[in-house]
Amino acid sequence: MLWLLVFFFGGCLAEWPPSSCHPRVDVKQTTVTLTSPQLSDEEYDCTLQEQFEDTIFIDMERKYSNKRFEKAHDSILGLTMSHPGGEFSILVHNDRITTHQSPQQCRGLFASRRTRLKIEFTPLPEMRKTFVSVRRMANGRFVQCLSFDLDELFYSVRLKIHAITETGMIQSIHGISKYDTNKQKMESQHEQFEQELQQVKEQVQIVQSTLRDTIEKLERNHVLVHDKHNEMKRVLENSMRHSDSRIAQKVRHHSHGFFFVVVLSSVLMCAFIKYNSFAKKRIEHIL
């Protein structure tokens, strides 16, 4: 698996950074700086030994230096492609892209920003010509910039990058490849997003299953509580009915006792009064 990845990405990235460069060219990791304030007034170049068959993707950056000038200057970054029948060049200026093979110009801003170009060449065997198309990245996609045809038929090219400046402009190449590495990164990010989305879906399913089980348990508990409540209610009602009958019986018993006491008291009171009256009469009779 590892060797497949190495083979695939090795083919995508092509020969980068190049091994054949001017001695003064600044190569740091994957960035090749052809001109700068220290590399001025002379053309500096690198040549890639690899063959490009139909498409070249170029990631470049051109930045102004801090120098100030009274008259106009133009720094140029060139892309020269050679084939068995000759060569042709794409020249990147500050405000346009040109070629010696056509009067056409691609107008735009190509300084103080990072620029991605896509160069395609398509052989036309019946016409013995080759059609060349230059596209530039704009708003996340490649748009047509410049196109022309050459009176030579070829199927592959070698690439030479070169640049010159009088103002110390920093002209760098961050990468050259046969395939759109940015698209591959987006596809890789999309795959990663799909994996993360799948993980989220699985977690949501787990949460839904747990929630469903919890709801079922709550419903069962609700039924049990409801039944228990009704049972306790019946027991309490029965208990209250039994308690009421006992209280009524006690009240009746107490009422009978009280009535007996009242009657007995009345009888005793009458007896006392009679006895008292009898006693008084007897005393009076004796006296």
Looking at residue 134, the DSSP 8-state letter turns out to be E
Average pLDDT for 156-167: 95
Assigned CATH for 11-179:
2.60.120.200
Specify the pLDDT at position 1. Answer: 43
Per-residue pLDDT tens over the stretch 52-90 = 999 999 999 999 988 777 788 889 999 999 999 899 999
Residue among 51, 85, 15 nearest 157 (CA): 51
Give CA–CA dist 234/222, Å, rounded: 18
DSSP states along 161-198 = EEEE-SS--EEEEEEEESS-HHHHHHHHHHHHHHHHHH
The 3-state secondary structure of 80-92 reads: EEEECCEEEEEEE
SS3 content of the chain, % helix, strand, coil (to 5): 40, 35, 25
pLDDT of residue 253: 62
The token pair that represents 132 in the structure block: 């060349």
Using one digit for the tens of pLDDT, what is the confidence trace for 97-139? 999 999 999 999 999 889 999 999 999 999 999 999 999 999 8
Picking from 58-62, 159-163, 217-221, 272-276, which range would have the lowest pLDDT averaged per residue?
272-276
pLDDT at residue 189 is higher than 90:
no
- Whole-number pLDDT of residue 252: 63
pTM of the model: 0.60
Enumerate the domain spans of the chain: 11-179
- Return the closest-CA partner of residue 121 out of 139, 96, 99, 140: 99
For residue 9, the model assigns a pLDDT of 43
